[in-house]
Amino acid sequence: MAYGIAVEEKGGVDLYRFGRSKQVFRGPKPDLRDPYLTFIGGSESFGKFVLEPFPKLVENRTGKTCVNLGTPGAGPGFFLKDPVVLETCSRSTRCIIQVMDVAPLSNRMYEVYPRRNMRLRCVSGVLRSLYPQVDFSEFRYVSAMVRKLKEVDRDAYKVVLAEQRSAWLARMLELLQDIETAKTLLWIRPEGGDVLEQSVTQEMVEVLASHVDNIVKVSVSVPENGGKGLAGLRKDTGWMTRAVHAEIAAVISTELQALQPQKKARQ
């Protein structure tokens, strides 16, 4: 049960290594000899807990080869470190780039591991001075640390969040510049729930707007337990159910179809 997928559905999940990249991606392994679309993002794009994540559903709907390069817990820094992924995205007819979370990304407050962005590598003296009462040695994952920081001092966390957002914008802009093909920014925005807080704002997305061809926003209603439930455990993307993946795929497929006439008109 790699990466905690296929928890609620029966069936096997294909995983494979791509080219010189050391990272494992969702299969089946694609044939890149024909035109294809690429998808990059975090756990939502990868499709934890479902057999067919939305990139696969888009492929089923459109008949176009869709390469799912989503990686659990990834931030934009993950993809910037992988030239194989960047090259694959640039060779695609269009790259759909998920708006990823701000937390799994190295910044002036803390560092994460390049290939395991949710794993905390170290924290800075600045963060320790903001939270002298916190023992940072107890944290292995960024998500656990962030929850604790919010709980201990929400005012101090505003300083951390500002740094996270600043680093995120810089890395996202760099990522968009490095992907040399048509680009769609996909913003999966959870709404509701009692434990979720929007780390990416409308203003941040607007900064990226001039660097992509279009933006697709999908608002998802989150249950009151905030995605808690699979096997009784809290899952940060537990709200990404099969129905939600289907909804996202429908929106993306419709958008892709709408873009086709525009492409023909320019030729």
Domains observed in the chain: 2-266 (3.40.50.1110)
- How far apart (Å, rounded) are the C-alpha atoms in residues 178 and 170? 13
- Token output for 43: 């756990």
- 172 and 201 Cβ atoms separated by less than 8 Å: no
- Give every CB contact of residue 252 below 8 A, 6+ residues apart in sequence: 54, 58, 96, 184, 186, 216
With 0-12 / 13-18 / 19 or more C-beta atoms within 10 angstroms meaning exposed / middle / buried, residue 2 is exposed
pLDDT at 64 over 90: yes
pLDDT band of residue 229 (cuts 50, 70, 90) is very low
Closest by alpha carbon to 98, among 259, 245, 228, 260?
A: 245
CA distance 219 to 211: 22
Task: Using pLDDT thresholds of 50, 70 and 90, give the confidence band for residue 7.
Answer: very low
The SS3 assignment for 119 reads: strand
**Lookup: tokens for 187:** 């913003």
Least reliable range by pLDDT among 3-17, 94-108, 162-176, 204-218: 3-17
Q: Can you give the pLDDT at residue 12?
A: 64
Q: What pLDDT digit, counting tens, does each position of 14-39 carry?
A: 888 877 667 788 888 888 999 999 99
